[in-house]
Amino acid sequence: MRDEFKSFSGETGCPEYETQIMLYAAEELEGAERDGFEEHLDQCAKCMAALDAERQLLEVISSQERPEPAPALLASCRNRLEDAIDEIDHRSLFTRWAESIFPAHWLVMYPAASAALLVFIGFSAGAFLPGRAQQRTPPNSPMQQAGVLSPMLNEQELRTADVSGINWTPAEDNRPPQIEVQLTTEKPMTVQGTVNDTNVKKVLTYVLHNNHRFGPDVRINAVELLKGQAGDAQVEQALCQAARSDQNPAVRLMALDALGQSSPNAAAIQTMINALVQDTNPGVRIAAMTSLGNISSRGGLLSDPEAVKVLRGLMKNDRNKYIRLQSAAAVLQSAAPPQQ
Amino acid sequence: MGMSAALEGVAGRQAVQKADEQALVRQAQTGNRPAFEELVSRYDRDVLRLAYSLVRHNEDARDIYQEVFLRAYRNLTRFRFECSFYTWIYRIATNVCLDHLRRKNTRREDQAPQPEESDGTTRDFFDQQMEHRPAANPERHLLGQELGRHIATALGGLSPRERMVFELKHYEGLKLRVIGDMLGTSEETVKNSLFRATRKLRASLNGMR
């Protein structure tokens, strides 16, 4: 790296040509000025060396990777801007309405009456419109438009999309929640439905498979929504991927917890074992252990001698007391008939 | 012949784009929200990139983005087509960025660096917990990054205006005349700022040898 600096340091041209050297290197010298400077360059080795040094300096600086904002940042900026413009539009409508019935000069002429009227309006608004202010803007502006995607949501669309938000409304009677996933593509789109809906499931599992592309809040929401469907092969695979490769321990922990709530296949058990042995986050390891314990209590480890062998090793040697105790319990349960 | 036809094609497309943009601006000026949002979507990536490369902080870049487009929304009726909409938006963006950099220079507490991933994303609380897994702990301190840090430090030593001019010239690739137009100043003043910026950068990087 020191050599990088050497290449453009210490070289100075003729003092009267200092500006021209900088402008020439920046390709900003034109016409007669350029011709004159080039003539001088032909005769002046000092200025030529200074020009080389200037070019090297610019090359080194521009060769550095420019910091790029994360794609999710653009999506969140757009959402926030849209909310702010909604507010401005809403406020300006209200201002026009208020001015039409309550001119500003009236306030000056009758201050006491104005104050009383404002208090009255405030109370009335508070009493009659409590829920209105919290209502979300209906998705009718173009930034939210596009509505529900057709069942043809494909891999290509997902590859170019950012998930700017996942919202859901809990349903009654243990029915799955209504989910709304906002996708930012060339034209923002919204995918709606329950977790059983093909498109919703596809987006949520895509988020977990491609966790490096999405923000931690989006990944956590995806796991949270998918956890009730861990028995589904596609979902289980996505949860395994999250448990193995998500950089956020909270996501890994939740994915392992979700896997433990179903009857996972051998690959999922292997994912838990790997997390238990290799993950350096104590919370994640404990989640893996707890899930394995749950599975063991349901007789899920009876057909997995490899997993039991690892647990035997951990019950003797793991530095974490909780893991040692839980491993021992799981090993015992794996040898006993499953609890009813 | 082929070349001239191609050039005519490019010129034709540019003319159509310009007319299309003018129509959009006129619609937006009458209060048409979709038209304004279409204009935003054409330029907001560039504005965010400029803001982010100057402040290198997600929250600050987001604030700048918001301020730029809200100012544009509020002042759209004052746009008189004396320059392109792109230049107008960039003029607002450079002003907002300069204000931000100046404010930042006077508030030391703002200068605490935000922990960031190499891909520019912010790390959240859980991400900041110690991890030693090989997959989660890639080689982040490559040799080239040291040079990058030196350059970032050197750029940080420039005045807000010098920084802006250098950024627009050498990273955005704009001509000094255009930069002057955006910053509302003469080309000569921009040349002086660029000259000072380059000299400071050279001195700063030499000092790190």
Q: In the predicted model, is pLDDT for residue B16 greater than 80? A: no
Contact B169 A26 (CB under 8 A): yes
Q: Residue A337's pLDDT is what? A: 59
Residue among B191, B187, B67 nearest A81 (CA): B67
Burial (CB count <10 Å: 0-12, 13-18, 19+), residue A207: buried
Distance CA A80, CA A93 (A): 20
Contact A69 B170 (CB under 8 A): no
ipTM value: 0.73
Residue A251 with chain B: CB contacts under 8 Å? 126
Q: Residue B184's pLDDT is what? A: 85
For the stretch B80-92, pLDDT in tens is: 888 889 889 999 9
Nearest 5°: phi and psi at A164? -90, -15
List Cα–Cα distances, B136 to A28, B113, B115, in angstroms.
46, 22, 16
> What is residue A150's DSSP assignment?
P
Q: Residue B91's pLDDT is what? A: 92
Contact B209 A9 (CB under 8 A): yes
Contact A250 B70 (CB under 8 A): no
| Portion 42-81 of B in contact with A at CB < 8 A | 44-45, 48-49, 52-53, 56, 58, 61-62, 65-66, 69-70, 73-74
Neighbouring residues of A150: CB distance < 8 A, sequence distance ≥ 6: none
The bridge status of strand A162-169 relative to strand A189-193 is unpaired
Q: Residue A268's pLDDT is what? A: 85
Residue B197 with chain A: CB contacts under 8 Å? none
Nearest 5°: phi and psi at B11? -60, -40
Q: Residue A140's pLDDT is what? A: 42
User: A146: alpha, beta or left, given left = phi > 0 and alpha = psi -120 to 50?
Assistant: left
Q: In the predicted model, is pLDDT for residue B108 greater than 60? A: no
Nearest 5°: phi and psi at A136? -80, 155
Distance CA A227, CA A262 (A): 9
Residue A248 with chain B: CB contacts under 8 Å? 124, 126-127
List Cα–Cα distances, A202 to A191, A196, A232, in angstroms.
10, 10, 12
Contact B151 A64 (CB under 8 A): yes
Percentage of the residues of chain B whose pLDDT score is greater than 90: 37
B103 and A CB contact within 8 Å: no
What would the two tokens of residue A149 be? 């995607």
Of B54 and B110, the one with more pLDDT: B54
Burial (CB count <10 Å: 0-12, 13-18, 19+), residue B86: middle
Q: Residue A143's pLDDT is what? A: 38
Burial (CB count <10 Å: 0-12, 13-18, 19+), residue B142: exposed
Contact A81 B40 (CB under 8 A): yes
| B34-42, long-range: CB < 8 A, 24+ apart | B34/A141, B34/A142, B36/A85, B36/B73, B36/B76, B37/A82, B37/A141, B37/A142, B37/A143, B38/A142, B39/B85, B39/B89, B40/A78, B40/A81, B40/B69, B40/B72, B41/A78
Q: Give the number of residues written for chain B.
A: 209
Q: CA angle at residue A140 from A134 to A145, to 5 degrees?
A: 120
Note whether B89 and B68 are within 8 A (CB): yes
Q: Give the number of residues written for chain A.
A: 340
Burial (CB count <10 Å: 0-12, 13-18, 19+), residue A301: buried
Q: In the predicted model, is pLDDT for residue B109 greater than 60? A: no
Q: Residue B97's pLDDT is what? A: 93
| Portion 143-162 of B in contact with A at CB < 8 A | 143-144, 146-148, 151
Contact B33 A89 (CB under 8 A): yes
Residue A278 with chain B: CB contacts under 8 Å? 133
- Weakest-pLDDT range from B63-67, B111-115, B186-190: B111-115
**DSSP element (H, E) containing A158:** helix A155-159
Helix (H, G, I), strand (E, B) or coil at A185: coil
For the stretch B143-157, pLDDT in tens is: 566 777 788 888 888
Q: Calculate the average pLDDT of chain B.
A: 78
Q: Residue A188's pLDDT is what? A: 72
A31 and B CB contact within 8 Å: no
Stretch B96-115: mean pLDDT: 66
A156 and B CB contact within 8 Å: no
Q: Residue A221's pLDDT is what? A: 85
Q: Residue B140's pLDDT is what? A: 41
Tens-digit pLDDT string for chain A (340 aa): 444 444 555 567 888 888 899 999 988 988 899 999 999 999 999 999 999 988 888 888 877 777 778 878 888 898 899 888 888 877 666 666 665 665 555 555 666 777 787 777 777 776 666 544 444 444 444 333 334 444 557 776 777 777 777 887 777 667 778 888 888 766 677 888 888 888 888 888 888 888 877 777 788 888 888 888 888 888 888 998 899 888 888 888 889 888 888 777 888 888 888 888 888 788 888 888 888 888 888 877 777 888 888 888 888 888 888 888 888 888 887 776 555 4
List Cα–Cα distances, A297 to A243, A293, A310, B86, in angstroms.
21, 6, 17, 65
HEC per residue, B104-145:
HHHCHHHHCCCCECCCCCECCCHHHCCCCCCCCCCCCCCHHH
Q: Residue A303's pLDDT is what? A: 74
Contact A142 B126 (CB under 8 A): no
Q: Residue B5's pLDDT is what? A: 57
Contact B147 A10 (CB under 8 A): no
The torsion angle over the Cα atoms of residues B72, B73, B74 and B75, rounded to 10 degrees, is 40
Q: Residue A146's pLDDT is what? A: 39
> What is residue A129's DSSP assignment?
-
